[in-house]
């Protein structure tokens, strides 16, 4: 059994989905683990991780619009405003998604469906540099 750890830095352009499938898949393949488990962990409370369709961009646009409706940026709704009016909605959006993903590895690659991609979901308005910790274990 072998394992490896990596810190992947992701630059965002503000609120939205940033696909990270390629760098995650490339790193996992370079570890030469044929079968195992890949864990991704987002080290932030105002960003998250999702596996979502990567073929039709309308899916991502609809997902972003849905989160805008259920966690709008409205200072009158929230007590927490220390880091700006977009921060509390960002925390809510992160709480409703995931900060950790587990993906099986087979043939040295993450086992994703045909139309699945791995995304960092940035919930803040301004550009950020985010960090995802990747951990792989297997043979």
Q: Which domains occur in the chain, in start order?
A: 2-138 (2.60.120.460)
Q: What radius of gyration, in Å, describes the C-alpha atoms of the chain?
A: 16
* pLDDT tens for the 139 residues of the chain, in order: 999 999 999 999 999 999 999 999 999 999 999 999 999 999 999 999 999 999 999 999 999 999 999 999 999 999 998 999 999 999 999 999 999 999 999 999 999 999 999 999 999 999 999 999 999 999 9
pTM, two decimals, is 0.96
The secondary element (H helix, E strand) that includes residue 92 is helix 87-96
């Amino acid at each position: 059994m072998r394992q490896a750890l990596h810190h992947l830095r992701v630059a965002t352009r503000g609120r939205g989905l940033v696909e990270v499938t390629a760098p995650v898949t490339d790193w996992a393949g370079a570890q030469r683990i044929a079968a195992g488990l890949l864990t991704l962990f987002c080290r932030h409370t105002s960003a998250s991780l999702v596996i979502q369709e990567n073929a039709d961009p309308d899916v991502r646009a609809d997902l972003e619009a849905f989160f805008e409706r259920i966690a709008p940026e409205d200072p009158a709704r929230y007590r927490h405003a220390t880091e700006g009016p977009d921060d509390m909605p960002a925390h809510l959006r992160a709480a409703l998604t995931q900060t950790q993903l587990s993906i099986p590895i087979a043939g040295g690659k993450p086992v994703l469906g045909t139309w699945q991609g791995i995304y960092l979901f940035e919930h803040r308005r301004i550009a950020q540099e985010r960090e995802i910790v990747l951990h792989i274990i297997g043979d």
